[in-house]
Structure formats: structure tokens, C-alpha cells
Amino acid sequence: MRNTIKRFLISIVLATLSASIISCGLLEDGWQPVRHNPPPVAGIDAFEPPVPKAGEPSQPSRPPAAAPKGPLKVTIEEAVLLALENNRALRVERLNPPIQRTFFEQELAVFEPVLTAEASGERERTEARTGGESAANTTGGGVGVSEFLPTGTTIEAEVTTERTYGDAQADQHATRGGLSITQSLLEGRGIAVNLADLRQARLDTIFSRYELRGFAESLVADVETTYWKYVLSQRGVEIVEESLKLAEQQLEDTRHRVRVGSLAETELAAGEAELALRREALINARSLVATLQVRLLRLMYPQALPGFRRDLTAQTKPTPPPVPLESLGDHVAVALRMRPDLNQAELLLQRGELEIVKTRNGLLPRMDLFVTLGKTGYAHSFGRSVRDVPSDGYDFFVGLEFEQPIYNRDAKATHQRALLTRDQLAESLRNLQDLARQDVELAFIEVNRTRQQVDATASTRRLQEEKLRAETAKFQVGKSTSLLVAAAQRDLLASQVSEIEALANYLNARTNLYLLEGSLLERRGLSAPGREPVKREPASPATRPATAPATTRPAAQTLDSLPASPGS
């Protein structure tokens, strides 16, 4: 009988240790946080700052670079890199992934071994009826180690010792070594449910990386849009200044003709009114340049504001990119694969399915199996009590503990809510996919429209130049009026502004298309977390919805050959 019990306990210990090794392999190989630190790109540090080791103080991030003295000349590539390096809002977002990773480490700590130690002392004095007194002293201590395994098993090994001595008894030592195993048989049993919190924390960490990627893409798009608007405003000032000079020359010519009597004095009013309009337009154009300069500088050098009044020259000229657009189907495929919000929705759906695993397990009653084996040695000294432990004496305890709420309404409601939430997340993912297709198609239409506007406005500008030349020639021979010449000048000015607006709108429309499909960073040659799409893990039959969401992301065949020029 004794040998049977020993073999039974040895088999339990070996099975538990095997489960521990397997579960630890799951933790180490499959569920460690991904240490994704993208390589520096064009002088940009990795998007995620390094996490300090335990016990080390966190190192403050280096301050944003100071704006150089003197006039600033930046290309659009330099503007994007400066914003990624210095923008304060991005610095805030970069801290979210390492912060979220600490929650994963906390969940991982649930499966770490725990070392315990204790020491105690007791003294008891009693008085006999005969009037005599006696005292008994007890001292003891022990050490132990316990670990909770993903299988739902708790293993605890301990060694304790106790010494009893007093006036009426001899010195007695007792040393015990014991092993306890508690195994959940229903609720809390299995690797899936016990790793659910850890896997959810891992998904939350990945979620924060896609969130960082989405913010970085929005920042790059904001920089490019602001840059092209600034280029447009600078060119607008140049056009208005040229138009102002032309209006001044026209007014001076009109005054000369009035003095020599070839024109009536009433012709001066039209020229003076046109000159006033040009000066008013120049004031507005310069104000717009100053406003956009502040916005662009805040993106690149936020520490330089306020009071930063320095000439800023945008050196990249807006030109139509030579690379044509891919087909609409390719852009939609890229969006379904790379858009951060779609990947985040997929992660939320997977998180919801893990929640179902937990709540379904909560429907089960609680039943735990307890097995305890111990051996104790007794002697008049500590050393002899230790040597007496391998003797034939032992203590063995086995038992079951059962617990079940009668109605279990809380667990049922929680599970029902998890099922409904999972279905809601699946519908939300499908809705986001529909919106992504719509966004990309509308952006694609806008790119084609603005590209046609570039050609149309260029043609209009050339015709307005010819019209002004013809009207000026007729005015010089007395066959036109200063009012008609002024109108031709205004038409030319409007066409020149429309031409550069169309070109800037076209470049911004392409940037917006790449932003909506989630490929803007790759097209600009920038590395960031979240480039790969979230892989759809197969759901178990218990968590699979009645109609599985169509979350398959077709790969974009043109993704690896995306143009990298910011003007593309």
C-alpha cells in the first residue's frame, strides 16, 4: 500500500513538472513581448524608446533639437524628418508601447516562482492548581517555494522546523519536508483560460504599436500638407508682388497718357482701384505666409515658439510626380492590409474572443483536487531531526473542494455580454472595412480630379497671359480702356493662383490617398512598428460567431515597389 501511494505521488509530480516545462515553453517562445526596435532611418531614432531594466532609473529623452540660427532652408524630406525627431506630440505617443508592455510583464509575473520564508516564537506560562508554575517555549521557521502553472496547477514545496522546550518537558525538534499540489479540475483548468489575460496584454501591446503608427502617419501627412500650403502661400506672395508691379506700371502709363491728353482723366480711377486691390491682396498673402510658417515651425521646431521670427524658405518646388497611380483595386488591397485602424479592430476582435474563453470557463463550478505529501523527523536536536526525515513515517492528504453558485447569474450575464461584445466587434470590423474601401475610392477620385485640374489650370493661365498681352496692346493704340486692362490683369492673377493651388491640391490629394490606405510611411522610406498586418488566429468552435467576419486581408502586389519620393 505504501509503495502504491509513493508511485502515485511520483507520477503526479512528473506529470506536473512536464506540464510546467511545456507551459514555460509557451510563455518563452510564443508569448514574450515583441522587442521591435526598427533600425534608424535617415537619422531618426527608433520609434519606441528603450525600456529601462529593473532597478534602473528611466533616462529622460533628449530634448528636441534647437532651431539653427539664421534663415532656414528646408526641403520637404527634411521637414518630415525634423518633425519625426522633434515633434512633442509624437514623443508623447512613443511612450505608449513601452508603458503598455509593462502590463504584459505584470501578467507574466503570475507564473513566476514565489519564495517564502517565516520565523516565529511562542512562550506559554501556566499555573498548576497545586501552586506550581511551568513554562513552554516554541520556536520555528521555514522556507518554501510555490509556482502557479498555466495548466491550472499550483505546486508548493516547503521545509519547516520547530523546536519545543520548557520546564516540564525535554528539548524536542521536528523537521518536516512537504510537497503540495492543487489542480483545478473544472473552473480554472487548462492553458487557454489561464493564458487569456497574458495574451490580452500582449494584444494590447501590439495595439499600442498600431496606434503609434497611425499617429506617425497623420503627423507626416500634416507636415506634407502644411509644407505644400506654405509653398503655395510663398508663391502667392510672389505672384501678387508681380501683379502689384504690373498695376503700378499700368497706372503710371495711364497718368502719362492723361497728361498728354490721349486719355480722359476718368481712366485714372480704374487703375488706382486696381492698385489698391493689389496692395490689399499682398497684405493678406503675407499674413497667410506668416501663419503657415508658425504652423510648420511648430511641427519641426516646437521649442522655438513663440517669438520665432526667422525667414523660412521651402526649397522643394511642387511638380507633378512622374510615378502614376496604381489601380484602384491595388490601393484598396493595401488599405485592407495596412490601415492601422483595421489592424486595431482585428486585435480588439481577438481580444474579445479571449474574453469569451475566460467567461465560458467562469460558467463551470469550482472543483479543486488537493494532494499533500510530507515527511517529518523527530529528535532532541535539529541535526538528528533532519537525519530522521527519510524514515518510514509520512503524512498524506488528498481531498476535493467544490463550490458552485446556485443560480450563477453573474457568470451567465458576463458570458452573454462577452458574446454580444464579440459580435459587435465583428460587425465593427466589417463596417470599418467598408469605410476603408469608400475612403480609398473617394481619395482615388480626388487624385484623378486634381491631376486633371493641373492641366486645365495651366492651359487657362496661358490663355489669360495671351489675353492680357492683347488687351495691353489695344490699350497702347487707344482701342481699349484701363478698366479692361485691369480686368485682364485680375483674370491672369486668378489663373496663376489657381494653377499653383491645383498643383498643391494634387500633391496633398496623393498624400491623403496614401494616408487612407496606410502606406504613407513606407512610401516615404520610413520604418515604424505595425507594418505587418495582424494575423487572424483561428477561433475555437466555442468562440466562433455564427457568421465569421470577412477579415481576410488580400496582399497588395505593388506594396514592395511603392515610390518613396515625398512628391509621389
Mean pLDDT check: name the lowest of 280-284, 324-328, 390-394, 504-508.
390-394
Q: Where is pLDDT greater, at 59 or 382?
A: 382
263 found inside a domain:
yes
The pLDDT tens digits of the residues spanning 297-324 come to 888 887 766 555 567 888 888 888 777 8
Asked whether the predicted pLDDT for residue 355 surpasses 80, the reply is yes
Q: For the beta carbon of residue 528, count every other beta carbon within 10 angstroms.
A: 25
- Whether 10 shows a pLDDT value over 60: the answer reads no
Is residue 441 situated within a structural domain?
Answer: yes
Average pLDDT, the chain: 79
Q: Is 355 exposed, middle or buried (0-12, 13-18, 19+ CB in 10 A)?
A: buried
pLDDT band at 4 (very low <50, low <70, confident <90, very high): very low
Q: Range with the lowest mean pLDDT among 261-265, 364-368, 437-441?
A: 261-265
Confidence at 546, pLDDT banded by 50, 70, 90: very low
Q: Note the pLDDT tens digit of each residue in 237-255.
A: 887 887 788 778 777 877 8
Q: What's the whole-model pTM score?
A: 0.76
Give the pLDDT confidence score for residue 42 in this predicted structure. Answer: 37
Domain assignment present for 133: no
C-alpha distances in Å from residue 217, one per residue of 208, 211, 305, 368, 508: 14, 10, 24, 51, 14
**Where residue 53 falls among pLDDT bands split at 50, 70, 90?**
low
**Distance between CA atoms of 296 and 222, rounded to whole angstroms?**
9
| C-alpha cell at position 544 | 466562433
What was the pLDDT predicted at 304?
64
- Over pLDDT 90: what percentage of the chain? 39
Q: Is residue 34 part of a domain?
A: no
pLDDT digits (tens, 9 = 90+) for 450-478: 999 988 988 888 888 888 888 878 877 77
pLDDT value, residue 210: 94
pLDDT tier, 31 (very low <50, low <70, confident <90, very high otherwise) = very low
pLDDT for 209 beyond 80: yes
Strand 133-148 and strand 153-166: pairing?
Answer: antiparallel
Residue 143 in this model has a pLDDT that exceeds 70: yes
Number of domains making up the chain: 1
22 domain-assigned: no
Asked if residue 162 has pLDDT above 80, the reply is yes
Report the C-alpha gap between 97 and 100 in whole angstroms.
5
Lowest mean per-residue pLDDT among 164-178, 186-200, 407-421 = 164-178
Least confident piece of the model among 154-163, 216-225, 470-479, 514-523 = 470-479
205: domain CATH number is 1.20.1600.10
Is residue 63 a contact partner of residue 303, using CB atoms and an 8 Å limit? yes
Within-domain flag for 426: yes
Mean pLDDT of 495-515: 89
Q: What is the pLDDT at residue 217?
A: 94
Structural domain includes residue 29 = no
Do 419 and 356 form a contact (C-beta atoms < 8 A)? Answer: yes
Residues 192, 355: Cα–Cα separation, whole Å: 11
Domain that includes residue 430, residue range? 41-50+72-94+195-359+411-561
Q: Is residue 430 part of a domain?
A: yes
Residue-wise pLDDT tens digits, 71-112:
788 899 999 999 998 888 898 999 999 999 999 999 999 999
Q: How confident is the model at residue 169 (pLDDT cuts 50, 70, 90)?
A: low
Question: Lowest mean pLDDT: which of 1-10, 243-252, 268-277, 487-496?
Answer: 1-10
The pLDDT confidence band at residue 435, using thresholds 50, 70 and 90, is very high
